[in-house]
């Protein structure tokens, strides 16, 4: 049973849901450690990040959306729900890439009602600019104003 207040987007054999109870931390850990940015993440760090983010799980389903077969993707937004959000960890399992599922995740993120009122949603990507641009993402107009602290 999914949480009633979860945001969901159903596309036939796939479901995107923000229901925390559906998230599969071990599957997410496997997805993320296969990426260039997630290598070295511990399962504990992944579980903590899922708890403290608006997480969009992507699931392959059968028999309608009541039977989740496996988690095949994820997108997370770290946000205050009022002014700012940071989109991260957008990933789809290797065998499911090329089927438009990253776009499905981004559709869910950009249509989520709680995110519609924030002023700025940022992200960082090394090589997926063409994926994000149709959803309104643009290079920072003044990147010199942005700083980061890496520890």
Summarize pLDDT for 81-94 with one digit per residue, the tens. Answer: 999 999 999 999 99
Sheet holding 120-123, edge to edge: 8-11, 14-17, 54-62, 67-79, 84-92, 120-123
Task: Map out the domains of the chain as residue ranges.
Answer: 8-137
In this prediction, the residues of the chain whose per-residue pLDDT falls under 50 are: 1
Output the pLDDT for position 12: 87
Output the pLDDT for position 28: 97
Please state which CATH class domain 8-137 belongs to.
alpha beta
Nearest to 41 by CA among 54, 26, 29, 53: 29
pTM over 0.85: yes
């Amino acid at each position: 049973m999914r949480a009633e207040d979860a945001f969901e987007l159903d596309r036939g054999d796939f479901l995107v849901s923000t229901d925390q109870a559906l998230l599969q931390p071990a599957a997410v850990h496997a997805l993320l450690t296969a990426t260039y940015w997630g290598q070295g993440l511990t399962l504990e760090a992944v579980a903590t990040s899922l708890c403290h983010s608006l997480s969009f799980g992507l699931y392959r389903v059968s028999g309608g959306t009541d039977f989740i077969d496996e988690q095949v993707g994820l997108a997370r937004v770290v946000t205050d729900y009022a002014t700012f959000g940071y989109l991260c960890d957008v990933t789809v399992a290797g065998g499911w890439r090329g089927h438009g599922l990253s776009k499905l995740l981004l559709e869910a993120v950009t249509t989520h009602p709680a995110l519609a009122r924030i002023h700025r949603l940022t992200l960082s990507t090394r090589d997926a600019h063409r994926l994000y641009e149709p959803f309104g993402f643009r290079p920072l107009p003044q990147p010199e104003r942005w700083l980061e602290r890496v520890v």
